[in-house]
Structure 1
Amino acid sequence: MKLTNPLTLLVIGSAVGVLGWLAAVLTTRYGLNTPVLPLNGLITMGVIVVLTLVLGIRVRRWRNGNKKKMLNPILAAWTLVLAQACAYTGSVLLGWHVGIFVDQLRLWNLRSDQTLAWQALIMAGGGLMMIVVGLTVERFCRIPPEDGEGESAPGRQEQRKPKSEGEYAYRGD
């Protein structure tokens, strides 16, 4: 699997931000409720972030040398997928709520109650936290390259001695 490109997350967040702003403008124009997630959504976001982080730390500990118990490769793959899903979901939530917050800024002086703007800003912060944790845990799941595979692992500067010429893994008679 390839690492998640932060530029892709930025493009997704920007596109969804425009949609969020447009939705906020239209709902305000027609007197409907602005589509912002309630603050109890932070509980769900927090559970996802903590679960992703705990599983990521478990994979990182195994990768960095605590290999007393074998790590289930399916669990490691699920952790990677969860981290990527967390980053993409955070990008969507951040973009949507920033778009709503931008719309609420133009109404800031006209309203006496700015709870909707603060709510959108808090939910955008939760989305940003999901992105940070998702990208961090995704880096935890990277396995350093083996000897002879591209670049050497960080901190290793020694050169591997080549085997004697003519030595192959198979016999070609």
Structure 2
Amino acid sequence: MRTIRPAWLVAISIVLAVLGFVATELTSRASLPLPVLPLSSMITMGLIVVVCLILGLKVRRWRDGNREKALDPLMAARTVVLAQACAYAGAVLFGWHTGILMDQLPTISMRIDLGVIWQMVALMAGALVMVVVGVIVERFCKLPPEDTEPPVKPRTKREGRGEEEFA
């Protein structure tokens, strides 16, 4: 399984920001409300972050030497997958709401109610927390290199190419 690449997270956020910007333009032309998640979604985001962090801390505790209980390898693999999903979902949500906010920036001075703007900022902050926790928990699940393996010796260069050495 590959580790999370920060460049992919940034690329996902940029693509979703463009899509969010375009979606906002289209919904405003059709006189529809902004395509923003409700604040109640912060509860779900928070639960995902807490569960991911708890499972990650269990794996980290086992990795750091507290091995009183056996660690289920399937649970550890699921924790890594949850951490990656948390990071990618956070990148998607951050990009989407950033695009919507970029579309709404020129009209902020004309708005009477800034509640939607603060709602987007709160969702963006929650999304960043998801990304950070996902990346950190994935690092918790990474095993350190084994110390018992013998070090690899570098090859010595032969002086005579193609010639065999006889004793």
TM-score if structure 1 supplies the norm length?
A: 0.84
- Show the counterpart of 1:169: none
Structure 1 pair 150–123 and aligned structure 2 pair: CA distance change class (3 A): farther
- Show the counterpart of 2:90: 90
Cα deviation digits, residues 81-134 of structure 1 (max 9, x gap): 000000000000000001111111111011111111111111111111100000
Cα deviation digits, residues 145-172 of structure 1 (max 9, x gap): 1123879xxxxxxxxxxxxxxxxxxxxx
AA paired with 2:109? N
- Show the counterpart of 2:58: 58
Structure 1 pair 43–150 and aligned structure 2 pair: CA distance change class (3 A): farther
- Show the counterpart of 1:118: 118
Preserved CA contact (<8 Å) 1:80 1:137: yes
Counterpart CA distance in 1 for 2:106 and 2:44 is 30
Counterpart CA distance in 1 for 2:91 and 2:8 is 9
Structure 2 regions of 5+ residues with no counterpart?
153-167
The answer to whether residue 43 in structure 2 is matched with residue 31 in structure 1 is no
Identity across the alignment (%):
52
Q: Relative to structure 2, which stretch is displaced further, 87-96 or 111-120?
A: 111-120
Secondary structure, counterpart of 1:145 in structure 2 = coil
Structure 1's consecutive aligned runs of 4 or more residues displaced over 3 angstroms after TM superposition are none
Matches within 5 A, 1:4-15: 4-15=4-15
Structure 1 regions of 5+ residues with no counterpart?
152-173
Q: Work out the number of aligned pairs and report it.
A: 151
Structure 1 pair 131–149 and aligned structure 2 pair: CA distance change class (3 A): farther
- Show the counterpart of 2:73: 73
Counterpart CA distance in 1 for 2:33 and 2:151 is 55
Q: CA RMSD in A?
A: 1.4
